[in-house]
Structure 1
Amino acid sequence: MNEKFFDLKKEKQDRIINAALRAFALGGYMHASTDDIVKMAGISKGLIFHYFETKLGLYQFVYDYSVRVINLEITTGVSRDITDFFTIREEIERVYSVCMQQYPYIKLFMYRAAVEDTPEAASAILETRENYDESIRKILDRGDITRFKPEANYQIVDDMIQMVNKEILEKMFQEGVFQPEDYYEEVLKYMEMLRAISYD
Structure 2
Amino acid sequence: MNEKFFDLKKEKQDRIINAALRAFALGGYLHASTDDIVKMAGISKGLIFHYFETKLGLYQFIYDYSIRVINLEITTGVSRDITDFFTIREEIERVLSICMEQYPYIQLFLYNAEAEDTPEAASAILQTREGYEAMIRSILDRGDITRFKPEANYQIIDDMIQMVNKEILERMFREGVFQPDGYYEEVMKYMNMLRAISYD
Work out the percentage of aligned pairs sharing the same amino acid: 88
Paired position in structure 2 for 1:92: 92
1:45 aligns with 2:45: yes
> Where in structure 2 are the equivalents of 1:48-63 lying within 5 Å?
48-63=48-63
* Superposed displacement of residue 146, structure 1: 0.3
Paired position in structure 1 for 2:114: 114
Q: Which runs of 5+ in 1 are unaligned?
A: none
Count of equivalent residues: 200
* Superposed displacement of residue 3, structure 1: 2.0
Paired position in structure 2 for 1:151: 151
Secondary structure of the residue aligned to 1:142 is coil
Runs of 4 or more, structure 1, over 2 Å off, are none
Secondary structure of the residue aligned to 2:149 is coil
d(CA) in 2 for partners of 1:65, 1:142 = 26
Q: For 1:110-151, what per-residue CA distance to the aligned partner results, in whole angstroms no more than 9, with x for missing partners? A: 001111000000000110010011000000111100001111
Please give the TM-score of this superposition, normalised by the length of structure 1. Answer: 0.99
Kindly indicate whether the alpha-carbon contact (under 8 Å) linking 2:2 and 2:61 is maintained by their aligned counterparts in 1: no
* Superposed displacement of residue 156, structure 1: 1.1
Paired position in structure 2 for 1:134: 134
d(CA) in 2 for partners of 1:110, 1:2 = 20
Give, as a single letter, the amino acid of the residue that structure 1 aligns with 2:70. Answer: I
Please give the TM-score of this superposition, normalised by the length of structure 2. Answer: 0.99
Q: Which runs of 5+ in 2 are unaligned?
A: none
Paired position in structure 1 for 2:17: 17
d(CA) in 2 for partners of 1:80, 1:2 = 32
d(CA) in 1 for partners of 2:153, 2:47 = 51
d(CA) in 1 for partners of 2:12, 2:154 = 43
Kindly indicate whether the alpha-carbon contact (under 8 Å) linking 2:97 and 2:183 is maintained by their aligned counterparts in 1: yes
* Superposed displacement of residue 2, structure 1: 4.3
Paired position in structure 2 for 1:194: 194
Give, as a single letter, the amino acid of the residue that structure 2 aligns with 1:196. Answer: A
Give, as a single letter, the amino acid of the residue that structure 2 aligns with 1:16. Answer: I
